[in-house]
Amino acid sequence: MFDIDKIISVIAARKAKTVGLQFPEGLKRRGPDLAREIEARAGVTVIISGDPCYGACDVDEGLRDMVDVLFHFGHSRLLEDDRVVFMEYYHDVDVEAAVRQALPLLGTRVGVTTTVQHIRMLPKIEAILKAAGKEPVVRPGDSRITYPGQLLGCNFSAAPQDVDTILFVGTGNFHPMGVQMATRVPVIAADPFTGEARKVDVERIMRQRYAVMAKAMDARKWGVIIGMKPGQQRLELAKRIKATAGDAVLVTIREISPERLIAFKVDAYVSTVCPRVAIDDVSRFNVPVLTPVEFDIIKGLRKWEDLAFDEIRGD
Ligand code: SF4
């Protein structure tokens, strides 16, 4: 589960007295037991971050500044910060059944992608594909990506385009839809938890996004949202959008909610924070919230047929 020996050795090496723990939502319930164990073994004071945590971009800077070292669980390193130790978390669920289900849906040359939770299964996925006569292609991503083949919800740079099909191994729709829209290559999603595989369909999400964009076409007053989480800040992009929008205000928001958006009395927003927010939370918002890509389309800076999910790219 957690590499407690590594945690103890980091604490000892840094002579830490106060230690922070930060978990994504799915792991938070394990926090108290881990905190007790660390306190008992290392003789330190442990503080758990109780705020939401959605990704490696989302380091609790307040807690980090309060402790000698902050352990951030569940995500691979995205930011360079000596005070934060990223502790990856892997699902050991077997991928074989799902990948075998995917085989009839795949072409010959197959791009292989997954999230960090299943990254240790990549050699096995490649072996299954090769045994079935496929040619797996695993590519490194940019500087925000730790492992070849790894995806983030905001970064599909490890997805190859020179393939017949892309295999995504993992759960949920967001990553495989994002890959398909970024690469224009058909994506097959194989879910290790259900053992099922399916062809990804982006029609519905594209219709939904076009509808949001259409509502924003007549907006006169714009709000441009700047993220406060360290790995989501894109100030230069926000300034460029403000200049294009005309009547626009820049607004910082740490956690976006419908109530916070209503307060500023603007007709539409462009969100430069985590690209998932505008898309996943669309039904909660009372005003259109566009991604920067969508804003560029309605302003004629990009073609409508080039609609894709927003990405936060590295170097
Ligand atoms: S910006 Fe969003 S998708 Fe990217 S790492 Fe952060 S939470 Fe994940």
Name which residue sits closest to atom 4 of ligand 1, judged by CA. Answer: 154
| Residue 311 lies inside a defined structural domain of this protein | no
Residue 124 shares a structural domain with residue 182? yes
| Residue 38 lies inside a defined structural domain of this protein | yes
Instruction: Please say which residue of 87, 113, 135 terminates a domain.
Output: 87
Residue 234 shares a structural domain with residue 260? yes
Predicted confidence (pLDDT) per residue in 22-37, tens digit: 999 999 999 999 999 9
Does 89 have pLDDT greater than 90?
no
Residue 115 shares a structural domain with residue 185? yes
Does 1 have pLDDT greater than 90?
no
Atom of ligand 1 nearest to the CA of 55: 7
CA 41 / ligand 1 centre spacing (Å): 33
Predicted confidence (pLDDT) per residue in 167-203, tens digit: 999 999 999 999 999 999 999 999 999 999 999 999 9
What single string gives the DSSP state of each residue in 113-142?
EE-GGGGGGHHHHHHHHHHTT-EEE-----
Residue 127 shares a structural domain with residue 59? no
**pLDDT for the residue numbered 2:** 86
Query: What single-letter DSSP state applies at residue 288?
Result: -
| Residue 221 lies inside a defined structural domain of this protein | yes
CATH number for the domain spanning 261: value is 3.40.50.11860
Atom of ligand 1 nearest to the CA of 273: 1
Does the predicted interface ipTM exceed a cut of 0.85? yes
| Mean pLDDT of the 44-53 span | 97
| Residue 314 lies inside a defined structural domain of this protein | no
The contacts of residue 74 (CB under 8 Å, 6+ apart) are: 23, 24, 26, 27, 53, 87, 88, 89
Domain count of the fold of the chain? 3
Q: Write out the residue range of the structural domain in which residue 137 sits.
A: 96-199
Instruction: Please say which residue of 54, 87, 120 terminates a domain.
Output: 87
| Residue 40 lies inside a defined structural domain of this protein | yes
CA 135 / ligand 1 centre spacing (Å): 30
| Residue 218 lies inside a defined structural domain of this protein | yes
Instruction: Please say which residue of 87, 105, 130 terminates a domain.
Output: 87
Predicted confidence (pLDDT) per residue in 247-279, tens digit: 999 999 999 999 999 999 999 999 999 999 999
Residue 50 shares a structural domain with residue 123? no
279 lines ligand 1 (CB under 6 A): no
| Mean pLDDT of the 280-293 span | 94
Does 91 have pLDDT greater than 90?
no
Does 92 have pLDDT greater than 90?
no
Atom of ligand 1 nearest to the CA of 153: 3
